[in-house]
Amino acid sequence: MSLHRPAAVKNMWVSIAQSRFMTPHAFQYYCAASGIFSSLLFFLGFAAADFLPPIKPWWTAEKTAEHYQHHTHRVRIGASMIALSGLFYMPFCAAISSQMRRVPNLHYVVQQLQLSAAAAGLWTFVLPAIILATTSYRPERNPEITQTLNDFFWICTLMPWQTFMVQNFCFSYAIVIDQRSKPLFPKELAIFNMIIPFFWTASTGIHFTKFGPAAYNGALSFWFLGISFCGQLIIDAVFLLRAIHSEPEGGEQIVDMFPNRLPKGDPEVAPGKDI
């Protein structure tokens, strides 16, 4: 049973649907710009929680708990901002996946691997935010519990870089194999996305030490990782916006590669059929 709507209401919805803010291009622009918002929210979340610079891993349980007791509201705000950064991360990755499909003869497993790694990487935003929110929920608790949750937050935030490396390598692969005279992305962006993940690998061993550049507050495990990660999101988003701008308004043919497609004349293909 359809609802009867006045003509003015129908015209309003038609006007909204045909608005330039609702075009496929506009939607992709929103998704690409989400990478910038994700980066800024992630950075500002740490700033809000007074984690720039990070608290020290060698602090006693009492001193660690004191930080959460004195900055309870700031930590709670920071946790919310870090969680929201994950909200913007997924549309950004979906826009990358969509533009990767425009590359001729790109095997669909590359695009699917990039998108599935993005879905897994979302938890690198959400889970630490949940842990941080839990830590700040009862700051008056036993200091040793607060210290344990604090360690859990930093390790969960900095250690899981692997899914992002997979994303970068898939994106770089798509850029490299695009040999058209006017490729979607410059080859320098592929080199950039292949090099940046190696700045993150030092965080693999943050649970081995509480001092020095490899600790969770150190130059390698925190500063290099954080700056390169947030900076990469912004740079990729800018080039993604340019790629979207080059897409025809009416869309273009997507070239998929199907490994199960057998050539004509293959004995496994039944006569008169093209699989």
**Using one digit for the tens of pLDDT, what is the confidence trace for 135-157?**
999 999 999 999 999 999 999 99
> What pLDDT is recorded for position 247?
82
Please report which confidence band the pLDDT of residue 270 belongs to, taking 50, 70 and 90 as the band edges. very low
Provide mean pLDDT across the span 108-113: 92
Q: How far is CA 12 from the centre of its chain?
A: 35
Please report which confidence band the pLDDT of residue 3 belongs to, taking 50, 70 and 90 as the band edges. low
**Using one digit for the tens of pLDDT, what is the confidence trace for 235-262?**
999 999 999 988 876 666 555 555 555 4
Buried b (16+ CB within 10 A) or exposed e, 176-185: eebeeeebbb
3-class secondary structure, 266: coil
CA torsion through residues 217, 222, 224, 230, sign: negative
3-class secondary structure, 170: helix
Asked whether residue 50 carries a pLDDT value surpassing 90, the answer given is yes
Provide mean pLDDT across the span 14-41: 85
Q: Where are the domains of the chain?
A: 24-257
Give CA separation, 144 vs 87, 135, 140, 227, 238, in Å: 32, 11, 11, 30, 44
First to last CA, the chain: 42
Taking phi over 0 as left and psi of -120 to 50 as alpha, with beta for the rest, 105 belongs to left
Provide mean pLDDT across the span 120-129: 94
- Please answer whether residues 81 and 50 qualify as being in contact, where contact means their C-beta atoms are separated by less than 8 angstroms: no
> What pLDDT is recorded for position 258?
53
Least confident of 5-14, 30-39, 151-160: 5-14
Please report which confidence band the pLDDT of residue 94 belongs to, taking 50, 70 and 90 as the band edges. very high
